[in-house]
Each structure stands twice: as C-alpha cells, then as structure tokens.
C-alpha cells in the first residue's frame, strides 16, 4: 500500500504587472503566521485600508505574512503601496486557508479509508 503526503503547490498572483509566488506557510512559521493572520482579519472588520496598513507594517504583521509566504524581499514589501500590500496580505491568507482546507479533506479521506 502506498501513501501519499499532501504537499501544497505554490501559487502565483499578479502584482503591479509582476508574478509573485505565494507559498504555503512552513511549520516553523505556522504560529507566527496564524497570529498575524488572525490579527489582520480581526482588524479588517473595523479599520480602513490605510489604518490596517499602518498597524500591519508597524506591528510586524505585514512581514510575518508576506515575508514568510511570498517571494518578495523585505525591502520590496516595505515599499509596496498600502492598498497593494493589504490586498496581497489577504490573498496570501486566503491561499493558505485553501491549502489547509485541502489538507483536512485529504486527512479525512485517509482516515475514512483506514477504518
């Protein structure tokens, strides 16, 4: 019997005419990414894009999300326009959410087959 381990494939998004690679969050970054994503999502309900950008850039949330899961350098992340940075941050969160949902479905199927 052969078992296959789910390994999410990277995705690409277009940003300002360039391809940016979005990668699955690594285990070592999982806790930091999760806290940063949770804070960003919570603030999105009550803040403007500009307020969210200021918070995310000053608190490190922006680098915790974009620095760990994109091909962008820290230098480039810090120079993104606010609207672009916030939009990309939420796209990275969405893509990683999809990776985890796929993993859960795969795990559920594997557990159902094991019974």
Q: What is the pLDDT of residues 20-47, one digit of tens each?
A: 999 998 889 988 988 999 999 999 989 9
Q: What percent of the chain has pLDDT over 90?
A: 54
pLDDT value of position 71: 96
Can you give the pTM of this predicted structure? Answer: 0.81
| Residues facing 14 on adjacent strands | 19
In this prediction, residues 93-111 reach a mean pLDDT of 77
Which pLDDT does position 115 carry in this prediction?
62
d(C-alpha 6, C-alpha 99), whole Å? 9
Mean pLDDT of 95-100: 82
> In what helix (H) or strand (E) does residue 112 lie, and over which residues does it extend?
helix 82-114
CB proximity list for 65: less than 8 A, separation 6 or greater: 33, 36, 37, 40, 56, 89, 92, 93
Q: How far apart are CA 115 and CA 30, in angstroms?
A: 30
Residue 30: the pLDDT is 86
Instruction: Kindly tell me if the per-residue pLDDT of 68 is higher than 60.
Output: yes
Question: Collapsing DSSP states into helix, strand and coil, what is residue 76?
Answer: helix
* Percent of the chain clearing pLDDT 70 (strictly above): 85
């Amino acid at each position: 019997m052969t078992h296959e381990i789910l390994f999410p494939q990277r995705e690409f998004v277009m940003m300002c005419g360039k391809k940016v690679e979005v990668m699955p969050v690594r285990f070592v970054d999982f806790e930091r990414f999760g806290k940063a994503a949770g804070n960003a999502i919570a603030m999105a309900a009550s803040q403007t894009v500009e307020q969210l950008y200021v918070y995310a850039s000053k608190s490190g949330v922006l680098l915790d999300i974009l620095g760990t899961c994109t091909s962008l350098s820290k230098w480039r992340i810090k120079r993104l326009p606010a609207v672009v940075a916030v939009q990309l941050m939420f796209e990275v969160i969405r893509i990683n959410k999809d990776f985890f949902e796929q993993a859960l479905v795969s795990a559920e199927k594997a557990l159902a087959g094991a019974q």
